[in-house]
Amino acid sequence: MRAFFVLLLGLLASTAQGQEAWTVYRNAACGYAVEYPAAGFDITETDTGLTLIEQDAAGQIDIYCATNAERRSPAGFEQVLAGAERIREITYSRNGRSWLAVSGYYQADQARGDDLIFYAKFMFSPDLSQLSAFEASYPAGERQRFDAIVERMEDSLTAPRAAD
């Protein structure tokens, strides 16, 4: 019984430590928010969001908002992404009325010599005029570690407000 409580306390402590490494980013200009992992990344703030580059350069996460000038639906936006030059293959895609999630592989990076997985989540404003997003790219060998990061970010990303 004592071993169970020691194990439980250990799990609670590791969970609390994992939560301390996350922070919430709020962009007042676009009106969206998302949780992101602060530890282990060099973080650069932009006008529309953040760029997180792992200190060992294995992965990158871009958080941003953008104008959806043509007010494409999530399905229409997916069609544009499917034709993007940088994307080699989309292996996963789901969408709803106000969101889109896609994952797959970028074209091979000759300098790095490895396949980069990408995962992107887009949240659309109610009038489809704006979108908030995060895109994570990372080596295939880092999939398990990044899957946990992506899942938490995906759950926390909020939609931007409509354009003024």
> Does residue 62 lie within any of the structural domains?
yes
> Does residue 97 lie within any of the structural domains?
yes
Work out the percent of the chain whose per-residue pLDDT is above 90: 62
> Does residue 1 lie within any of the structural domains?
no
Predicted confidence (pLDDT) at residue 1 exceeds the cutoff of 70: no
| Contacts of residue 49, Cβ cutoff 8 Å, sequence gap at least 6 | 25, 27, 62, 63, 64, 65
Spatial CA neighbour of 26 closest among 124, 160, 151, 137: 160
pTM for this prediction: 0.83
Contact assessment for residue 128 and residue 72, using Cβ atoms and an 8 Å cutoff: yes
Which range marks the domain in which residue 65 is found? 22-156
**Position with higher pLDDT, 107 vs 7:** 107
pLDDT band at 15 (very low <50, low <70, confident <90, very high): very low
> Does residue 15 lie within any of the structural domains?
no
How large is the average pLDDT for residues 135-160? 93
Contact assessment for residue 164 and residue 125, using Cβ atoms and an 8 Å cutoff: no
Which phi and psi (to 5°) does residue 20 adopt? -65, -25
How large is the average pLDDT for residues 68-95? 91
Question: What are the tens digits of pLDDT across the range 27-44?
Answer: 999 999 999 998 889 999
As a whole number of angstroms, the distance between CA 114 and CA 122 comes to 26
pLDDT band at 26 (very low <50, low <70, confident <90, very high): very high
> Does residue 127 lie within any of the structural domains?
yes
Instruction: Give me the number of domains the chain comprises.
Output: 1
Query: What CATH number corresponds to the domain at position 43?
Result: 3.40.1000.10
Predicted confidence (pLDDT) at residue 2 exceeds the cutoff of 90: no
| Contacts of residue 41, Cβ cutoff 8 Å, sequence gap at least 6 | 52, 53, 54, 55, 61
